[in-house]
A = this chain, B = another copy of it.
Amino acid sequence: MIQHILNYLGIGAAAASGAVLGVRKGFDLFGIAAMAVVTGVGGGVLRDVLLAIDPPQSLQRWQDITVCLAAAALATLFARTVIRLHQPVTMLDAVGMGFFATSGAALAVDHGASWFAAALLGMVSALAGTIIRDVVARDVPVVMGPDDMYAVPAMLGSVIYVVIDYYGPQWVGVAVGSLVATLLRLAAITFHWRLPTGPRELIMRAHPPHPGP
């Protein structure tokens, strides 16, 4: 029961972020809905493709995509509010991210993935949706940095899951891994914890400053 709530909550928060980006990019209603769907279920679909779960669960059942479409409708109707309420949406997204990182790893273990692959596929479940969202909208993927940490909490969550699953029951791994990932993400947002970049002077400027008249 609780895992269904976490699943729909995570999908809905991710879908809302996709829909808002679609609004910001000037997409039409189909484009906004499509952004919500690829962001909400993209990570899970890619995970299922890599695990040969065909057709992927999120496509085969109607519930996940319906949640995406509902989130898209709300995020479009109340776009101003959703943008202003950035913080609660980010917090819901952190909860969903933590849950996807561990539940994705658990599903991978159940489908014959190695421990190594399970940790990776947990990260894929948590991160791929937002990467696809940004690539389709022609933005640089935000999880690539140098913003507040997003990928490191997901990685930690799915590694913790794998370690606990090796020694004990699966649900403990999901619970502890999700909790740690979500709390670390919330701390990263609150305190602006960031990973360093490479040597700063090697960074190319995308848009060189206009030299002026």
Contact = CB atoms under 8 A, between A and B. Distances in A.
Contacts of A139: 138
B28 A202 contact: no
Contacts of A121: 55, 59
A117 B59 contact: yes
Copies in the assembly, this chain? 3
B144 A60 contact: no
A60 B50 CA distance: 10
A129 to B, nearest CB: 14
A131 B132 CA distance: 12
Nearest to A213: B213
Interface string A111-125: 011101100110000
Interface residues of A, number: 67
Contact of A54 (B26, B50, B138): B50
Contacts of A144: 22, 25, 27-28, 30-31, 34-35, 136
Contacts of A9: none
Interface in A14-46: 22-32, 34-35, 45
A28 B80 contact: no
B50 A59 contact: yes
Given A28-B197, A145-B30, A138 B138 contact: yes
14 contacts: A23-B203, A25-B203, A28-B195, A31-B144, A32-B197, A32-B198, A49-B49, A50-B55, A52-B52, A55-B112, A79-B198, A138-B140, A210-B210, A213-B213
